[in-house]
Amino acid sequence: ETVTVSFTNVGTTAISNFPISYSVNGGTPVSEQFTNTLNAGDTATYSFTTGADLSTPAVYDIRAWFTVPGDTDGFNDTIDFSVEHFTPDVLPYFEDLQSFIPGAPLPTGWTVSTTSASNGVGWQVDQGGTGSTGTGPNADHTLGTGAGIYFYTETSGGIQGDTYTLTTNCIDLTGASLPKLSFWYHMHGADMGSLEARVVQSDGTETSVFLAVGQQQQ
Protein backbone atom coordinates (compact mmCIF):
# COMPACT_ATOMS: atom_id res chain seq x y z
CA GLU A 1 0.00 0.00 0.00
CA THR A 2 1.14 3.54 -0.71
CA VAL A 3 2.03 5.62 2.35
CA THR A 4 1.27 9.32 1.90
CA VAL A 5 2.02 12.04 4.45
CA SER A 6 1.42 15.80 4.58
CA PHE A 7 3.65 18.24 6.40
CA THR A 8 3.95 22.00 6.88
CA ASN A 9 7.00 24.21 7.13
CA VAL A 10 6.28 26.20 10.30
CA GLY A 11 9.68 27.87 10.20
CA THR A 12 10.64 31.21 8.70
CA THR A 13 12.91 29.98 5.88
CA ALA A 14 12.48 27.64 2.94
CA ILE A 15 13.67 24.02 3.27
CA SER A 16 14.54 21.47 0.61
CA ASN A 17 16.38 18.22 -0.08
CA PHE A 18 15.81 16.48 3.23
CA PRO A 19 15.23 12.81 4.13
CA ILE A 20 11.72 11.60 4.94
CA SER A 21 11.03 8.19 6.44
CA TYR A 22 8.38 5.86 7.79
CA SER A 23 8.25 2.54 9.63
CA VAL A 24 5.50 0.01 10.28
CA ASN A 25 5.11 -1.53 13.74
CA GLY A 26 8.59 -0.36 14.67
CA GLY A 27 10.22 -2.26 11.80
CA THR A 28 13.01 -1.29 9.43
CA PRO A 29 12.52 2.33 8.30
CA VAL A 30 11.88 3.22 4.68
CA SER A 31 13.84 6.39 3.89
CA GLU A 32 13.57 8.54 0.76
CA GLN A 33 14.57 12.08 -0.23
CA PHE A 34 12.20 15.02 -0.51
CA THR A 35 13.84 17.00 -3.30
CA ASN A 36 11.38 19.89 -3.73
CA THR A 37 11.50 23.24 -1.95
CA LEU A 38 8.99 23.95 0.80
CA ASN A 39 8.63 27.65 1.54
CA ALA A 40 7.84 28.99 5.00
CA GLY A 41 4.18 28.37 5.85
CA ASP A 42 3.58 26.03 2.89
CA THR A 43 2.25 22.47 3.11
CA ALA A 44 3.42 19.56 0.95
CA THR A 45 2.19 16.01 0.40
CA TYR A 46 4.64 13.18 -0.22
CA SER A 47 3.88 9.62 -1.38
CA PHE A 48 6.63 7.10 -0.76
CA THR A 49 7.70 5.13 -3.82
CA THR A 50 8.29 2.11 -1.57
CA GLY A 51 4.94 0.99 -0.19
CA ALA A 52 4.01 -0.86 2.98
CA ASP A 53 2.92 -4.49 3.12
CA LEU A 54 -0.47 -4.37 4.84
CA SER A 55 -1.81 -7.53 3.21
CA THR A 56 -2.39 -9.46 6.44
CA PRO A 57 -5.55 -8.49 8.38
CA ALA A 58 -4.27 -6.62 11.45
CA VAL A 59 -3.85 -3.18 13.01
CA TYR A 60 -0.69 -1.45 11.77
CA ASP A 61 1.03 1.32 13.72
CA ILE A 62 2.83 3.67 11.31
CA ARG A 63 5.32 6.36 12.23
CA ALA A 64 6.49 8.94 9.66
CA TRP A 65 9.14 11.61 10.17
CA PHE A 66 11.59 13.88 8.41
CA THR A 67 14.93 15.37 9.38
CA VAL A 68 15.97 18.88 8.37
CA PRO A 69 19.58 19.92 9.08
CA GLY A 70 19.70 22.79 11.53
CA ASP A 71 16.14 22.27 12.78
CA THR A 72 16.17 23.25 16.46
CA ASP A 73 12.66 21.92 17.18
CA GLY A 74 12.41 18.24 16.37
CA PHE A 75 9.28 17.60 18.42
CA ASN A 76 6.95 18.44 15.52
CA ASP A 77 8.77 16.39 12.89
CA THR A 78 7.05 13.06 13.61
CA ILE A 79 3.51 11.74 13.20
CA ASP A 80 2.04 8.45 14.45
CA PHE A 81 -1.13 6.90 13.11
CA SER A 82 -2.77 3.49 12.82
CA VAL A 83 -4.63 1.73 10.03
CA GLU A 84 -6.55 -1.52 10.15
CA HIS A 85 -6.85 -4.15 7.46
CA PHE A 86 -9.80 -6.45 8.03
CA THR A 87 -11.81 -8.84 5.87
CA PRO A 88 -15.45 -7.70 5.57
CA ASP A 89 -18.29 -10.05 6.42
CA VAL A 90 -20.63 -11.07 3.62
CA LEU A 91 -24.40 -11.38 3.35
CA PRO A 92 -26.40 -12.83 4.91
CA TYR A 93 -24.86 -11.47 8.11
CA PHE A 94 -26.30 -12.19 11.55
CA GLU A 95 -24.96 -11.04 14.93
CA ASP A 96 -26.76 -11.85 18.20
CA LEU A 97 -23.96 -10.37 20.38
CA GLN A 98 -23.85 -13.43 22.62
CA SER A 99 -20.08 -13.80 22.16
CA PHE A 100 -19.48 -10.20 23.33
CA ILE A 101 -18.19 -9.79 26.90
CA PRO A 102 -19.20 -6.88 29.16
CA GLY A 103 -16.15 -4.80 30.06
CA ALA A 104 -13.90 -6.49 27.49
CA PRO A 105 -12.55 -4.97 24.24
CA LEU A 106 -15.00 -5.16 21.34
CA PRO A 107 -14.38 -7.69 18.56
CA THR A 108 -12.32 -6.55 15.58
CA GLY A 109 -14.16 -3.99 13.46
CA TRP A 110 -16.62 -2.86 16.14
CA THR A 111 -16.03 0.60 17.64
CA VAL A 112 -17.78 3.09 19.89
CA SER A 113 -17.32 6.85 20.07
CA THR A 114 -18.90 9.68 22.06
CA THR A 115 -19.51 13.34 21.32
CA SER A 116 -20.42 14.70 24.71
CA ALA A 117 -20.09 17.77 26.91
CA SER A 118 -21.15 15.73 29.93
CA ASN A 119 -20.12 12.55 31.69
CA GLY A 120 -22.10 10.30 29.39
CA VAL A 121 -20.44 6.91 28.93
CA GLY A 122 -21.81 6.01 25.50
CA TRP A 123 -22.58 2.56 24.13
CA GLN A 124 -21.44 -0.45 26.13
CA VAL A 125 -21.99 -4.20 26.25
CA ASP A 126 -24.32 -5.24 29.06
CA GLN A 127 -25.87 -8.35 30.57
CA GLY A 128 -28.90 -8.51 32.84
CA GLY A 129 -30.48 -5.26 33.94
CA THR A 130 -29.23 -1.76 33.18
CA GLY A 131 -27.81 0.66 35.74
CA SER A 132 -30.92 2.84 36.03
CA THR A 133 -34.27 1.76 37.44
CA GLY A 134 -37.38 2.21 35.35
CA THR A 135 -35.53 2.20 32.03
CA GLY A 136 -34.52 -1.32 31.02
CA PRO A 137 -34.36 -3.72 29.46
CA ASN A 138 -33.86 -6.44 32.07
CA ALA A 139 -32.89 -9.01 29.43
CA ASP A 140 -31.92 -9.15 25.77
CA HIS A 141 -34.31 -10.18 23.01
CA THR A 142 -32.30 -13.17 21.74
CA LEU A 143 -32.31 -15.25 24.92
CA GLY A 144 -34.90 -13.34 26.92
CA THR A 145 -33.01 -14.06 30.12
CA GLY A 146 -30.51 -12.31 32.36
CA ALA A 147 -27.74 -14.23 30.60
CA GLY A 148 -28.38 -12.49 27.28
CA ILE A 149 -25.98 -9.87 25.90
CA TYR A 150 -26.97 -6.53 24.37
CA PHE A 151 -25.68 -3.01 23.77
CA TYR A 152 -27.05 -0.13 25.80
CA THR A 153 -26.22 3.43 26.70
CA GLU A 154 -26.67 4.78 30.23
CA THR A 155 -28.30 8.21 30.06
CA SER A 156 -27.64 9.10 33.69
CA GLY A 157 -25.00 11.84 33.64
CA GLY A 158 -25.70 12.73 30.03
CA ILE A 159 -27.18 15.97 28.72
CA GLN A 160 -29.29 17.00 25.75
CA GLY A 161 -27.18 17.01 22.60
CA ASP A 162 -24.89 14.12 23.54
CA THR A 163 -24.28 11.75 20.62
CA TYR A 164 -23.20 8.12 21.12
CA THR A 165 -22.09 6.17 18.05
CA LEU A 166 -21.77 2.40 17.68
CA THR A 167 -20.09 1.19 14.48
CA THR A 168 -20.23 -2.43 13.37
CA ASN A 169 -17.60 -4.34 11.46
CA CYS A 170 -17.49 -3.87 7.68
CA ILE A 171 -20.08 -5.84 5.68
CA ASP A 172 -19.64 -6.46 1.97
CA LEU A 173 -22.81 -5.38 0.12
CA THR A 174 -21.37 -6.03 -3.35
CA GLY A 175 -24.06 -7.52 -5.56
CA ALA A 176 -26.87 -6.99 -3.02
CA SER A 177 -29.88 -5.63 -4.88
CA LEU A 178 -32.14 -4.74 -1.94
CA PRO A 179 -30.22 -5.36 1.30
CA LYS A 180 -32.22 -5.07 4.52
CA LEU A 181 -31.27 -4.26 8.10
CA SER A 182 -33.28 -5.57 11.05
CA PHE A 183 -32.63 -5.27 14.77
CA TRP A 184 -34.45 -5.08 18.10
CA TYR A 185 -34.38 -1.93 20.18
CA HIS A 186 -35.73 -0.66 23.51
CA MET A 187 -36.15 3.09 24.11
CA HIS A 188 -37.83 3.70 27.46
CA GLY A 189 -38.04 6.92 29.41
CA ALA A 190 -39.90 10.23 29.26
CA ASP A 191 -36.77 12.11 28.15
CA MET A 192 -35.79 9.61 25.45
CA GLY A 193 -33.93 11.09 22.49
CA SER A 194 -33.54 9.49 19.06
CA LEU A 195 -32.00 6.36 17.57
CA GLU A 196 -30.67 6.46 14.01
CA ALA A 197 -29.08 3.75 11.86
CA ARG A 198 -26.74 4.81 9.04
CA VAL A 199 -24.93 2.88 6.32
CA VAL A 200 -21.41 4.23 5.76
CA GLN A 201 -19.81 3.29 2.44
CA SER A 202 -16.09 2.83 1.88
CA ASP A 203 -15.87 6.32 0.33
CA GLY A 204 -17.37 7.90 3.46
CA THR A 205 -20.85 8.45 2.01
CA GLU A 206 -23.52 8.03 4.70
CA THR A 207 -27.17 7.05 4.19
CA SER A 208 -29.77 7.14 6.96
CA VAL A 209 -31.91 3.96 6.83
CA PHE A 210 -33.75 4.17 10.17
CA LEU A 211 -34.85 6.86 12.64
CA ALA A 212 -36.88 6.50 15.84
CA VAL A 213 -37.66 9.45 18.10
CA GLY A 214 -38.99 9.30 21.64
CA GLN A 215 -40.06 6.47 23.90
CA GLN A 216 -40.80 3.18 22.12
CA GLN A 217 -39.76 -0.46 22.00
CA GLN A 218 -39.53 -2.89 19.08
pLDDT at 212 over 90: yes
| Side chain identity, residue 88 | P
Among 27, 41, 31, 147, CA closest to 97: 147
Percent with pLDDT over 90 in the chain: 47
pLDDT digits (tens, 9 = 90+) for 138-190: 888 889 888 899 998 877 777 888 899 999 988 988 888 889 999 999 888 77
Across the chain, mean pLDDT equals 88
pLDDT of residue 89: 84
pLDDT digits (tens, 9 = 90+) for 197-206: 999 988 889 9
Q: What is the pTM of this model?
A: 0.65
| Side chain identity, residue 201 | Q
Among 82, 56, 57, 59, CA closest to 3: 82
pLDDT of residue 119: 66
